[in-house]
Amino acid sequence: MALFCSLRLLSEKYMEFSWWYIVLAVLPLPNLWSIWHVWSHVFSSFQQKVSWLCIAVFFPVIGGLLYIAIGRKRAGERISVLRERIAAEKTDMSSEK
């Protein structure tokens, strides 16, 4: 019974909502977005894409912010847009024959 009461008091003390929970939840968002952006866009070279991906993965918060500030401008089109364009060109070429 005493253990239950002490656990209850301990949990009430640490279960108070704090703004740190919001900070901890928001910190990985730029990093997750940068990893998704690198993965879904085309770069001028494969090495550039891999290096930005490694920066975002191995330097979590700073890497994501660096990519948003510098690397996002270097990214090309989305891969899905390129696939649609290639598919449209293939259908145009097959209809011309």
Q: DSSP letters of 52-93?
A: HHHHHHHSHHHHHHHHHHTGGGG--SBHHHHHHHHHHHHHHH
With 0-12 CB in 10 A as exposed, 13-18 as middle and 19+ as buried, what is 33?
middle
Task: Kindly report the backbone phi and psi dihedral angles of residue 31, in degrees, each rounded to the nearest multiple of 5, phi listed first.
Answer: -70, -45
With 0-12 CB in 10 A as exposed, 13-18 as middle and 19+ as buried, what is 34?
buried
Domain parsing of the chain, residue ranges: 27-96
3-class secondary structure, 41:
strand
Rounded mean pLDDT, 13-40: 82
Residue-level pLDDT at 33: 93
Whether the pLDDT of residue 12 is over 60: the answer is no
pLDDT digits 0-9 by tens, 51-85: 999 999 999 899 999 999 998 888 887 877 777 88
